[in-house]
Structure 1
Amino acid sequence: MSLDTVAEDIRDEARARAEEIRAEAEDRADEIVADAEAEAETIRSERSAEVEREIEQEREQSLSSAKLEAKQSRLEARRDLLEEVREDVEAAVAGLEGDKRETLTRELLDDAADEFDGGSVRVFGRAEDKELLESILADYDGFEYAGEYDCLGGVVVESDASRIRVNNTFDSVLDDVWEDNLRDVSERLFEEQ
């Protein structure tokens, strides 16, 4: 064999081996690209799912926040309305006149008088009720009008001898009645349809 033939055989063998290496490299490159594309798709899918979860979570938080805000607004409106009702009731009680006012004042004074065993008893009341209280107190021994008390009506009665002070004002009665009936008042005002 000639040297040229041997060289040609070696070259052919080298070309064949080079072609084989190139083919293997292309196959490996295709595998790497396919793996990279698959991994990219997985990452894209995971990220998309994560973004969807975050959007859903933010939507839920926004909804919860809106519901809470609406509930607080509703409670505030109810509180304001109850306050208006209370003010209207106070105005109606303060506006009682004539026999009705005298009857209620006498009843409150009678209840307070039961706490005192004689001696000098001082009675305080609303400034506008001074004449009414003085006329009622004429029926009670040892009781005297002692001055003004900031209230809607009724009496505050005290005595040094017994160290007792009884608050039988319209305000204190209203406070008790309001507290005892607030739930019923609220239910009537805000009946759920």
Structure 2
Amino acid sequence: MSLDTVVEDIREEAHARAENIRAEGETRAEEIESAAQEDAEDIVADAEAAVDREIEQLREQRLSSAKLEAKQKRLEARRDVLGEVHEAVEDELAALEGDTREALTRDLLEAATEEFDEGDDVNVYGRGDDEELIDSILADYDGYEYAGEYDCLGGIVAESEQSRVRINNTFDTVLEDVWEDNLRDISNRLFEQ
């Protein structure tokens, strides 16, 4: 065997080995590239799913926020309407005249008298415009005297130092009691759904 043959065999062997290494490298590169492509596709799919979830969550938040805002506006509108109805009732009570006003004032005074002892000196206050009316009603009650003006829609406030009792039987307090007791029914009638 000559040296040239040995060199040639080594070269061929080196070429064959280089070819195997290159083929293995290409195969490995293709595997890495394929795995990277799969990873990239998974990452894109995960990102798209995350974006879809975020979009859905934002949509739900905005929808929920819009519903809450609409509900608040509805409640504000209802409050406004209830306020207007309350004011209209107050205006009607303040405008009552004649026999109706006298009957209501008399009933409120009579209800107050039950809280005082016989013989008590009772001071009665009322709306300034009702002074004459209250004086005429008080003529029927011993120890009861008109004591001055009270800022109200009508009715009376009666008090006695002997009994240490003060009764507020004004149209205002009666209205507030009736209003509070019936607010749900009033609201339901106004806003039937």
TM-score calculated relative to the size of structure 2: 0.97
Match of 2:178 in 1: 177
The corresponding residue for 1:68 is 68
TM alignment of 1:144-183, pairs within 5 A: 144-183=145-184
Distance in 2 (alpha carbons) for counterparts of 1:120 and 1:160: 8
Corresponding pairs, count? 192
The amino acid across from 1:163 in the alignment is R
Paired residue for 2:19? 19
Q: CA deviation at 1:47?
A: 1.1
Match of 1:101 in 2: 101
Equivalent residue number for residue 130 of structure 1:
131
In structure 2, distance between residues paired with 1:178 and 1:76: 18
Matched, 1:113 2:109: no
Determine the structure 2 residue equivalent to 1:90: 90
Could you tell me how far apart the structure 1 residues matched to 2:60 and 2:5 are? 81
SS in 2 for 1:146: strand
2-side partners of 1:67 and 1:118: how far apart?
63
Q: 3-state DSSP class of the match of 2:87?
A: helix
Correspondence 1:28 to 2:28: yes
- The gaps in structure 2 that reach 5 residues or longer are none
Computed over aligned residues only, the root mean square deviation of the Cα atoms, in angstroms, reads 0.9
1:189 counterpart residue number: 190
Q: Tell me by how many angstroms 1:136 deviates.
A: 1.2
Following TM superposition, the consecutive aligned residue runs of length 4 or more in structure 1 with deviations greater than 2 angstroms are none
Quote the offset at 1:119 in angstroms: 2.5
C-alpha deviation, 1:120, in angstroms = 1.2
The residue number in structure 1 matching 2:50 is 50
Give the 3-state SS of the residue equivalent to 1:156 in structure 2.
strand
Query: How far 1:89 moved relative to its partner?
Result: 0.3
Question: How far apart, in 1, do the equivalents of 2:120 and 2:86 lie?
Answer: 38
Cα distance in structure 2, aligned partners of 1:149 and 1:87:
19
* Structure 2 partner of 1:140: 141
Structure 1 window deviating more from structure 2 (38-47 vs 109-118): it is 109-118
SS of 2:168's equivalent in the other structure is strand
For 2:100, the aligned partner's letter is K
Distance, in Å, in 2 between the alignment partners of 1:138 and 1:111 is 16
AA paired with 2:99? D
Structure 1 position 39 matched with structure 2 position 39: yes
Instruction: Give the aligned residue type for 1:175.
Output: E
Amino acid at match of 2:5: T
| Percentage of identical aligned residues | 68
* 1:61-104 deviation digits (Å, cap 9, x = unpaired): 11111111111111111011001100000000010001110111
> 2: CA distance between counterparts of 1:5 and 1:152?
129
Deviation of 1:165 (Å): 0.6
Question: Using the alignment, how far apart are the partners of 1:118 and 1:61 within structure 2?
Answer: 70
